[in-house]
């Protein structure tokens, strides 16, 4: 997986000699050509100079057999961070190693683990977020093991491990490699079978720690609480070794996961070649609607240039479907001769493991020149070094962007990364504010392990694993109250000072660590009796896109949803020739229950508190293409979705509102547009996906809420969906709400409130810098009605709202 | 809102996600903040009932009933047992020979159970009742029953925990009794009861006990009757082999509920029924040895699979015994059984007996028979032509192709 420091003759030469005039200069030449031909599309550039390696000696106390294994693989010295990790870990400190892709992180944990296994038969548990990574790890360990004849046994333990092999893993494995889900459901509830393993457990390794954030991370932090509780039962107190991509708060995240202070190592001693990064905005093709050329078309263009320049290239796309499309376009150009071996490959989830292994191998050995991948290749699967990395759209976070860009330039030669923006607001914001991306420290990864529902789930699981005793602690809430609640529910039985599990059930079975991310819907095309999956839709947008009767577009091809299997997460569709599209009517109303904090915001106020949300999707409209006339309605039979959560909201003082807007209609459009922009920049600020946050515009008393009508204009509706006229309302205090899209909240609202001024400021600059005339999907959301019909520009209305909420002192 | 109310509200919302389509949403407007906390609790209770007390239709145990609960001493008296420790009741009985169990008396337990175990083994029949059937560290064995043969009669000991605190004492007593046995007999105990006891020892930080020989009747029953019976539960075995029809039996699956009811409210009727259920299970185990031994001798008479009986015999006594069993049931064998027998004959060089079996099966196109015949004619008879006739009927594949090519070569060599 990693490239351990190899002190080979040519690498000890000064860096300038590494790269001859021919070899390696290709990426630099490509940069020049792109800047020459497409100067207008480049909105930002960054050059990171080459960095020489910092070496340190192998530790004196390193087992000679392990040192021998390293030497056999060409490693005479360690990088400085590998040595620092060794010293810190051997000193018993929980450690998180935060260094770039391919800097030899693996060795940071493998060395102390192997040493301890040989010294005193200590055991280690490795946790990887995915199965593919686990298999890579075991292969890597085995190579080292064989090279030094170390006699250390590493096994994977996951859903694929056959029943008869499990006992051997439990009793004979020195290193057990698994994932958090398996630890949660398959190991901890059966810890008695793992007694020997836990008794000698000395190290817990958590790789790709930055992926454990949000709901998933909050669950995993609780799984770690349970793990440490079981370890204490067996008299073990393992040291945690973690690795993470670059995020702003690695120590905080790692400590939150482990529940104890963790020390970070952030200085990489690994060498890096010169790196170029270009930010590329596709040209505008329709200024009226603010439509730009697709990111896909731009990426394939750059990729063709790269391949013709004999530069190996990786292209990241945001969806599986997009991977297929780009692969097709690239193959049409480069793989059109069936007699030659193919040069272009796709890599994504959904492919069979064998197929993926083959592609990885072909990449390492240089038999493939171009790979098109989803985030499946973002995490540390070993694919060797590439010259060019192209990102089709902003991956959503800065950390993940750098992680992907790290795929190019693993060796000491120049490399190029190009981030090509899509027309999403997030992308447009990033691409027009290169300093945000280039200067900014990456995002904070946050978890909320004491989120009540998540905590309660894991208290149940923990009680099953070991009875709770009075005086024990588990998380930040009052444990005894939680136990009393479960006792009242009949789940636990209290006997003097101990709470015992008394349900005839296995609680871990019903708790999924990835409850939010897991519910993706698949769209199945049943045209002419076939059954083909053509798309995936995430849970939060399924209700408004996959209702029965909906027209679902794939690559502009219309399909009609015939049947929605909500529990099976499937939508069955058929091809159609409809000349209309459908638009769900979304009534989200929101009531403020309690406010925790308030603060003035310009001529208004921002606040954070608890809210109750009811979302109803009562029906949909059929809208004809081009004319946009409403040609019919359909009903949707989905139950209301209710949620208590936390939110941040902004309200403007009524006097300011009257002074700034000619009409309430105009103000309403302004609030809706501002909400759209704020929603997207807020997702950036709290390092979440846009769908982790919800947005709404309403009056905060749930008397009315605002929605965009079929004419593209804001409408006011009452609770039962009836339209009302804003001019007739006695009191008119619209508010923008951004809420945590998870029952009870997972801690997104607090950082959002802390960054309230930034959300307003960033939303303002997103809209102001947009090239469109009156608003577009890149800033305030799609608009239909033209400026003349309204008599005002919705884009300007949104700006007016944001200006009214802007705090000048703070910015 | 206090912690309690917050939890109720949140759980309800989490539970209603994802919502199922088609459900009426008329009632979901009552925002569960101030009003209706009682409704929410009822809803959660209903959900818990569904999970824990499936389909009993009984009212849930309530804390209020605790006053009427009976203390362990009283329960011990009712069960005719003694308090071994403050929270452990021991029932220790020597069962009279004349005690009827189904169509038999317990005297039958003295009959030989070969090939399952020798008469000189110190056999222990074991069965546990647990707080859950899911397994895992949260499952506790609250009742352990062990029967041994003492002076030719069945001595049944049952240890019953009346509180979780009694587990250590229970395990200590059970392990002491297990030490007296050198052969255990159970029904599904290899996968369930014994691993569970091992897990419980670890939870109580007790040393493991050495593994003993173990006969788990589930496996021979599956081999013998798996093809013929709707299921292989102990209830079914008892009905069909011992003629036992349990009246008023509390199914084992309800044992967790009975224990929970006792813990929560002190009501003991169900727990007493669990003890009776466990008694019946163990007495059945004691009688099943001789019963299954008879089936092995005459499988056909009991509607058992002859091949299954041969498999059991092969495992316990070796291939010869299995062959003799097959020989004595030649006319009742399935094609697979006949092939097996022919294989055994070939191994002993008895081709005169094996070949007719193969020929009969070969006419029906049975591949293994055709292959055996091809081999026989090639290697024993060195009759390439006949061998080729059989080889030609084999399904195409690399092995068949190689054989045919080799036979052709041999034929040509002979012709030259």
ipTM (interface pTM)? 0.81
Q: Which of A67, A64, A66, A98 is nearest to A84 (CA)?
A: A98
Residues A651, A536 within the same domain: no
Question: B138 and A637: CB-CB below 8 Å?
Answer: no
Cα-Cα-Cα-Cα torsion A348, A352, A354, A356, nearest 10 degrees, comes to 0
- Residue A277's nearest CA partner among A427, A377, A415, A431 is A415
B207 contact A CB<8A: no
35-94 of A, contacting B, C-beta below 8 A: none
| Interface touch A453/B165, C-beta < 8 Å | no
Segment among A350-354, B23-27, B102-106 with least mean pLDDT: B23-27
Q: In this model, does residue B47 exceed pLDDT 50?
A: no
So what's the pLDDT on residue A783? 65
Query: Are residues A274 and A50 in contact, defined by beta-carbon separation less than 8 angstroms?
Result: yes
Of A265, A294, A327, the position where a domain reaches its end is: A265
| Domains held by chain A: number | 5
Using a CB–CB cutoff of 8 Å, tell me whether B196 touches chain A.
no
Residue ranges and CATH numbers for the domains of chain B are: 72-297 (3.30.420.10), 334-415 (1.25.40.10)
* pLDDT band at residue A64 under the 50/70/90 scheme: very high
Convert the pLDDT of each residue in A552-581 to its tens digit: 876 456 789 999 988 888 899 999 888 787
Q: Are residues A590 and A737 in the same domain?
A: yes
Query: Can the peptide bond before residue B115 be classed as cis, meaning omega within 30 degrees of 0?
Result: yes
Count of CB contacts below 8 A, A vs B?
Answer: 147
- Set of chain A residues whose Cβ sits within 8 Å of the Cβ of B9: 644
Nearest CA in chain B to A636: B21
Residues of A in contact with B34 (CB under 8 A): none
SS3 A394: coil
Query: What was the pLDDT predicted at A12?
Result: 30
Task: Return all residues near A6 (Cβ < 8 A) that are at least 6 apart.
Answer: A74, A75
Please give, rounded to a whole number of angstroms, the shortest distance from the CA of B256 to a CA of chain A.
Answer: 6
Structure tokens, A328: 């097709």
CATH code, domain with A415: 3.40.50.300
Mutation site for A-interface testing, chosen from B136, B139, B254, B260 by largest number of A Cβ within 10 Å:
B136
Pairing type for strands B153-161 and A735-740 reads unpaired
Pairing of the two strands A641-652 and A693-698 = unpaired
Asked if the C-beta of B25 comes within 8 angstroms of chain A's C-beta atoms, the answer is yes
Domain match, A173 and A87 both: yes
E strand spans, A99-206? 123-127, 154-156, 175-178, 201-206
Confidence check: pLDDT of A585 > 60: yes
Q: How far apart are CA A627 and CA A640, in angstroms?
A: 32
Name the residue in chain A with its Cα closest to that of B259: A502
CA of A193, closest CA in chain B: separation in Å?
Answer: 7
B chain contacts of residue A193, beta-carbon cutoff 8 Å: 195, 199
Q: Taking CB atoms and an 8 Å cutoff, what residues of chain B touch A571?
A: none
B contacts of A495 (beta carbons < 8 Å): 163-165
Positive or negative CA dihedral for B395, B400, B404, B410? Answer: negative
CB proximity under 8 Å: A 542-581 to B: 564, 566-567
* Residue A545 lies inside a defined structural domain of this protein: yes
Answer whether A485 sits within 8 Å of B52, measured CB to CB: no
Tell me, yes or no, whether A567 and A687 share the same domain: no
pLDDT in tens, A50-59: 888 999 999 9
DSSP string, B308-352: HHHHHHHHHH-HHHHHHHHHHTGGG--HHHHHHHHHHHHHTT-HH
Q: Percentage of chain B with pLDDT > 70?
A: 83
Interface of B with A in 361-400 (CB under 8 A): none
Structure tokens at B72: 């362990």
Residue A453 in contact with partner chain B when CB distance is under 8 A: yes
Greater model confidence, A343 or A689: A343
A365: pLDDT confidence band, cut at 50, 70 and 90?
confident
| Contact assignment for A504 to B138 by CB distance below 8 Å | no
CB A806 within 8 A of CB A606: no
Task: Please give the Cα distance from A485 to A296 (Å, whole number).
Answer: 53
Q: Are strands A704-708 and A714-718 parallel, antiparallel or unpaired?
A: antiparallel
What local confidence, expressed as pLDDT, does residue A558 receive? 76
Nearest Cβ partner of B21 from A481, A496, A638?
A638
Q: Does A541 touch chain B (CB under 8 A)?
A: no
Same domain, A18 and A135: no
Q: Is the pLDDT of residue A134 over 80?
A: no
Question: Which residues 52-91 on chain B approach chain A with CB closer than 8 angstroms?
Answer: 52, 60
What b/e sequence results for B77-105 when a residue is b if at least 16 CB atoms lie within 10 Å of its CB, and e otherwise?
eebebebbbebbbbbeeebeeeeebbebe
Interface touch B16/A456, C-beta < 8 Å: no
CB burial class (10 A; 0-12, 13-18, 19+) of residue A471? Answer: exposed
Q: Residue A69 contacts by C-beta under 8 Å, 6 or more apart in sequence?
A: A144, A145, A147, A148, A149, A150
Residues 579-608 of A with CB under 8 A from B: 591, 593
Locate the DSSP E strands across A174-305.
175-178, 201-206, 239-244, 263-265, 275-280, 284-286, 291-292
B28 CB within 8 Å of a chain A CB: yes
Which of helix, strand or coil describes residue A739? strand
CB-based burial, B122-147: b 16+ in 10 Å, e otherwise:
ebbbbbbbbbbebbbbbbbbbbbbbb
User: CA-CA distance, B315 to B309, in Å (whole number)?
Assistant: 10
Given the structure tokens 């209309």, which residue do they identify? A580
Task: Look at B135 and A506 and tell me if their CB atoms are within 8 Å.
Answer: yes
Q: Considering CB atoms only, which of A192, A495, A744 is closest to B137?
A: A192
* Tens of pLDDT, residues A625-683: 655 567 888 888 877 777 778 899 999 888 888 899 888 888 888 999 999 899 988 88
In chain B, which residues have their Cβ closer than 8 Å to the Cβ of A742? none
Q: Within this chain, do residues A556 and A659 fall inside the same structural domain, yes or no? A: no
Mean pLDDT of A703-719: 72
Query: Which domain-ending residue is among A575, A597, A617?
Result: A575
Structure letter (DSSP) for residue A408: B
Q: Given the DSSP bridges, would you call strands B183-186 and B213-216 parallel, antiparallel or unpaired?
A: parallel
How far apart CA B319 and CA B395 sit, in angstroms, is 30
User: Which residues in chain A have Cβ-Cβ distances shorter than 8 Å to B24?
Assistant: 639
More confident residue, B225 or A700: B225
In a domain, A170, yes or no: yes
Q: Is residue A91 in a domain? A: yes
Give me the residue from A496, A498, A503 closest to B51, CB to CB.
A503
CA separation (Å) from A346 to A321, A358, A534? 11, 11, 17
pLDDT tens for each residue of B353-373: 999 999 999 999 899 999 999
pLDDT at position B204 is 96
Look at residue A631 and tell me if it is in a domain.
Answer: yes
Tell whether A250 and A322 lie within a shared domain.
no
Q: Specify the pLDDT at position A177.
A: 94
Per-residue model confidence as pLDDT tens digits over B180-192: 999 999 999 999 9
pLDDT on residue B390: 93
Report the C-alpha gap between A468 and A470 in whole angstroms: 7
Q: Decide if B13 touches A, using CB distance below 8 A.
A: yes
pLDDT 10s digits, A185-233? 999 999 999 999 999 999 999 998 988 987 788 899 999 999 999 999 9
Residue A721: pLDDT band (50, 70, 90) is low
Shared-domain flag, residues A625 and A740: yes
A513 has pLDDT over 90 = no
- CA-to-CA distance for A464 and B408, rounded, in angstroms? 69
- Determine contact: B36 vs chain A, CB below 8 A: no
pLDDT of residue A290: 61
Q: How many CB atoms lie within 10 A of CB A518?
A: 12
Scanning A309-449, the segments in alpha helix (DSSP H) are 320-334, 353-364, 398-405, 425-432, 434-439
Cβ within 8 Å of A, B 256-285 = 256-257, 259-260, 263-264
Residue that wins the pLDDT comparison between A514 and A84? A84
Q: What pLDDT was estimated at residue A144? A: 86
* Angle subtended by helix axes A756-768 and A794-805, to nearest 10: 150
The answer to whether residue A810 is domain-embedded is no
> At A19, is the secondary structure helix, strand, or coil?
coil
CB contact under 8 A, A189 and B44: no
Window 175-194 of B, Cβ < 8 Å to A: none
Chain B: residue nearest A500 by CA? B164
Same-domain check for residues A180 and A44: no
pLDDT of residue B20: 33
Contact assignment for B21 to A505 by CB distance below 8 Å: no
Provide the mean pLDDT of chain A: 83
In this structure, are A213 and A342 located in the same domain? no
Check whether the bond before B200 is cis (ω within 30° of 0). Answer: no
Q: Is A495 in contact with B164 (Cβ distance < 8 A)?
A: yes
Per-residue pLDDT at A554:
63
pLDDT digits (tens, 9 = 90+) for A384-405: 778 999 999 988 777 788 888 8
Mean of pLDDT values over B72-84: 92
- A554 and A594 inside one domain: no
Q: What is the mean pLDDT of residues B173-201?
A: 96
Closest partner residue to A465 (CB to CB) among B17, B138, B140 is B138
Same domain, yes or no, for A668 and A793? yes
User: By CB neighbour count within 10 A (0-12 exposed, 13-18 middle, 19+ buried), where does A680 fall?
Assistant: buried
What Å distances lie between residue A208 and A98, A126, A254, A620, B257, CA to CA? 10, 11, 11, 42, 44
Which residue, A670, A629, A628, is CA-closest to A792? A670
User: DSSP readout, A495-557?
Assistant: ETTEEEE--SS-GGGG--TTTTTT--EEEEE-GGG--EEEEEE-HHHHHHHSSTT-EEEETTE
In a domain, A445, yes or no: no
Provide CB contacts within 8 A for B338, sequence distance 6+.
B330, B357, B360, B361
Judging contacts by C-beta atoms under 8 Å, the chain B residues touching residue A640 are 19, 25, 28-29
* Residue A530 touches chain B, beta carbons under 8 Å: no
A442 part of a folded domain: no
Q: Which two tokens stand for residue A251?
A: 């120590």
Question: Range with the lowest mean pLDDT among A33-47, A72-86, A369-383, A468-482?
Answer: A369-383
Identify whether the C-beta of residue B20 lies closer than 8 Å to the C-beta of residue A637. no
CA distance A68 to A145: 10
Q: What is the DSSP string of A277-328?
A: EEEE-PPEEETTTTEE--HHHHHHHHHHHHHHTT--EEEE-SSHHHHHHHHH
CB atoms within 10 A of CB A376: 18
* Residue of B44, B199, B263 lying closest to A493 (CB–CB): B263
User: Of the spans A317-321, A791-795, B406-410, which averages the highest pLDDT?
Assistant: B406-410
Mean pLDDT, chain B, as a whole number? 84
Q: What pLDDT does residue A619 have?
A: 85
Range of the domain at A756: 585-805
State the CATH number of the domain containing residue A505.
1.10.10
Q: What's the gap in Å between the CA of A186 and the closest CA on chain B?
A: 9
Most confident option among A76-90, A670-684, B31-45: A76-90
pLDDT, greater one: B51 or B409 = B409
Q: What is the pLDDT of residues A286-336, one digit of tens each?
A: 666 566 788 888 999 999 999 998 899 999 998 766 787 788 888 888 888
* A511 φ, ψ (degrees, to nearest 5): -115, 115
More confident residue, B47 or B186: B186
Residue B50 touches chain A, beta carbons under 8 Å:
no
Query: What angle is formed at CA A377 by the lines to CA A371 and CA A383, rounded to 5 degrees?
Result: 65
**For residue B389, what are its two tokens?**
């006739």
Report yes or no on A620 lying in a domain: yes
Q: Is the pLDDT of residue A766 over 90?
A: no
The band of A806, judged by pLDDT with boundaries at 50, 70 and 90, is: very high
User: Do strands A291-292 and A284-286 pair parallel, antiparallel, or not at all (unpaired)?
Assistant: antiparallel
The answer to whether A517 faces chain B, any CB pair under 8 Å, is no
Q: How close B126 gets to chain A, by Cα (Å)?
A: 21
């Amino acid at each position: 997986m990693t490239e351990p420091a190899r002190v080979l003759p040519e690498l000890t030469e000064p860096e300038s000699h590494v790269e001859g005039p021919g070899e390696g200069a290709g990426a630099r030449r490509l940069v020049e050509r792109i800047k020459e031909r497409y100067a207008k599309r480049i909105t930002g550039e960054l050059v990171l100079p080459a960095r020489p390696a910092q070496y340190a000696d192998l530790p004196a106390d390193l087992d000679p057999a392990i040192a021998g294994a390293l030497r056999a693989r060409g490693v005479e010295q360690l990088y400085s961070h590998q040595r620092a990790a060794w010293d810190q870990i051997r000193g018993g400190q929980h450690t998180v190693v935060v260094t770039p892709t391919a800097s030899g992180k693996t060795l940071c944990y493998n060395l102390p683990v192997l040493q301890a296994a040989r010294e005193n038969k200590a055991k280690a548990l490795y946790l990887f977020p995915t199965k593919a990574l686990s298999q890579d790890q075991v292969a890597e360990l085995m190579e080292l093991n064989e090279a030094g004849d170390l006699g250390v046994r590493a096994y994977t333990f996951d859903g694929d491990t056959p029943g008869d092999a499990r006992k051997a893993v439990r009793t004979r494995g020195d290193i057990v490699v698994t994932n958090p889900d398996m630890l949660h459901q398959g190991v901890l509830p059966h810890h008695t079978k793992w007694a020997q393993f836990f008794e000698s457990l000395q190290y817990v390794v958590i790789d790709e720690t930055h992926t454990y954030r949000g709901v998933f991370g909050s669950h995993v932090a609780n799984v770690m609480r349970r793990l440490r509780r079981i370890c204490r039962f067996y008299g073990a107190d393992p040291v945690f070794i973690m690795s993470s991509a670059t995020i702003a708060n690695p120590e905080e995240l790692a400590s939150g996961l482990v529940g104890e202070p963790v020390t970070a190592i952030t200085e990489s001693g690994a060498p890096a070649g010169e790196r170029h990064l270009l930010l590329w905005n596709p040209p505008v093709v329709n200024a009226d609607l603010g439509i730009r050329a697709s990111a896909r078309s731009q990426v394939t263009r750059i990729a063709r240039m790269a391949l013709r320049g004999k530069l190996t290239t990786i292209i990241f796309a945001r969806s599986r479907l997009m991977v297929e499309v780009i692969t097709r376009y690239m193959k049409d150009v480069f793989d059109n001769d069936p007699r030659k071996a193919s040069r272009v490959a796709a890599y994504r989830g959904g492919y069979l493991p064998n197929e993926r292994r083959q592609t990885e191998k072909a990449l390492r050995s240089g038999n493939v020149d171009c790979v098109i991948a989803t985030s499946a290749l973002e995490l540390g699967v070993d694919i060797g070094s590439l010259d060019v990395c192209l990102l089709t759209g902003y991956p959503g976070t800065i950390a993940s962007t750098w992680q992907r860009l790290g795929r190019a330039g693993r060796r000491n030669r120049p490399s190029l990364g190009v981030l090509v923006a899509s027309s999403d607001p997030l992308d447009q914001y990033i691409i027009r504010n290169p300093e945000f991306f280039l200067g900014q420290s990456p995002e904070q990864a946050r978890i909320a392990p004491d989120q009540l529902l998540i905590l309660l789930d894991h208290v149940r699981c923990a009680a099953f694993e070991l009875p709770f005793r009075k005086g024990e602690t588990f998380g930040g809430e009052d444990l005894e109250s939680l136990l009393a609640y479960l006792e009242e529910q009949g789940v636990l039985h209290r006997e003097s000072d101990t709470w015992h599990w008394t349900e005839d059930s296995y609680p871990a079975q019903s708790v999924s660590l990835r409850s939010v991310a897991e519910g993706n819907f698949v769209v199945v095309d049943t045209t002419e009796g076939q059954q083909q999956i053509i798309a995936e839709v995430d849970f939060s947008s399924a209700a408004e896109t996959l209702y029965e009767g909906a027209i679902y577009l794939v690559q502009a091809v219309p399909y009609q949803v015939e049947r929605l299997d909500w529990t099976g997460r499937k939508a069955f569709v058929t091809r159609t020739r409809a000349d209309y599209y459908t638009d769900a009517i979304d009534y989200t109303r929101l009531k403020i229950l309690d406010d925790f904090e308030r603060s003035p915001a310009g001529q208004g106020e921002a606040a954070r508190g608890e809210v109750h949300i009811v979302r109803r999707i009562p029906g949909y409209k059929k809208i004809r293409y081009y004319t946009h006339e409403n040609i019919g309605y359909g009903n949707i039979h989905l139950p209301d979705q209710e949620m208590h959560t936390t939110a941040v909201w902004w309200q403007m003082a009524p006097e300011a509102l009257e002074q700034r807007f000619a009409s309430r209609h105009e103000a309403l459009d302004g609030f809706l547009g501002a909400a759209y922009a704020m929603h997207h920049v807020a997702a950036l600020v709290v390092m979440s996906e846009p769908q982790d946050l919800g947005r709404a515009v309403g009056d905060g008393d749930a008397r009315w809420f605002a929605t965009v009508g079929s004419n593209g204009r804001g409408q006011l509706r009452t609770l039962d969906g009836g339209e009302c006229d804003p001019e007739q309302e006695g009191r008119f205090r619209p508010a923008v709400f951004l809420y945590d899209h998870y029952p009870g909240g997972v801690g997104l609202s607090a950082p959002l409130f802390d960054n309230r001024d930034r959300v307003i400021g960033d939303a303002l600059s997103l809209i102001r810098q947009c090239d469109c005339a009156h608003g577009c999907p890149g800033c305030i959301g799609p608009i239909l009605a033209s400026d003349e019909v309204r008599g005002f520009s919705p884009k300007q209305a949104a700006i007016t709202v944001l200006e009214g909420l802007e705090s000048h002192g703070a910015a | 809102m206090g912690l309690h109310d917050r939890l109720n509200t949140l759980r309800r919302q989490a539970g209603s996600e994802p919502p199922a389509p088609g459900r009426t949403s008329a009632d979901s407007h009552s925002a569960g903040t101030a009003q209706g906390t009682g409704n929410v609790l009822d809803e959660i209770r209903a959900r818990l009932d569904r999970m824990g007390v499936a389909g009993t239709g009984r009212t849930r145990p309530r804390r209020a009933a605790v006053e009427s609960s009976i203390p362990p001493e009283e329960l011990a008296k009712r069960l005719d047992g003694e308090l071994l420790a403050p929270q452990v009741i021991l029932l220790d009985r020597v069962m009279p020979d004349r005690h009827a169990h189904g169509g038999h008396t317990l005297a039958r337990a003295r009959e030989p159970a070969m090939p399952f175990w020798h008469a000189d083994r110190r056999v222990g029949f074991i069965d546990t009742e647990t707080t859950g059937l899911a397994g895992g560290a949260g499952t506790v064995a609250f009742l352990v029953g062990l029967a041994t043969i003492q002076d030719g009669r069945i001595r049944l000991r049952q240890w019953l925990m009346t509180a979780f605190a009694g587990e250590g004492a229970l395990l200590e007593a059970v392990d002491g009794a297990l030490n007296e046995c050198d052969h255990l007999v159970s029904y599904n105990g290899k996968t369930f009861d014994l691993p569970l006891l091992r897990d419980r020892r670890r939870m109580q930080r007790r040393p493991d006990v050495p593994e003993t020989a173990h006969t788990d009747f589930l496996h021979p029953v599956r081999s013998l009757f798996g093809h013929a019976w709707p299921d292989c539960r102990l209830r079914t075995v008892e009905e069909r082999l011992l003629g036992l029809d349990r009246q008023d039996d509390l199914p084992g699956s309800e044992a967790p509920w009975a224990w929970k009811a006792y813990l929560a409210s002190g009501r003991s009727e169900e727990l007493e029924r669990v003890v009776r259920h466990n008694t019946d299970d163990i007495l059945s185990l004691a009688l099943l040895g001789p019963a299954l031994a008879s089936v092995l001798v005459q499988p056909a008479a009991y509607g058992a699979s002859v091949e299954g009986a041969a498999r059991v015999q092969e495992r316990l006594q070796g291939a010869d015994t299995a062959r003799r069993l097959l020989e004595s049931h030649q006319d009742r064998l399935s094609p697979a059984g006949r092939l097996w027998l022919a294989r055994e004959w070939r191994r002993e060089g008895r081709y005169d007996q094996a070949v007719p079996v193969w020929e009969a099966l070969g006419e029906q196109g049975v591949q293994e028979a055709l292959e055996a015949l091809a081999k026989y004619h090639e290697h024993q008879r060195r009759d390439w032509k006949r061998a080729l006739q059989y080889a030609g009927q084999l399904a195409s594949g690399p092995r068949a192709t190689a054989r045919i090519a080799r036979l052709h070569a041999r034929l040509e060599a002979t012709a030259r």
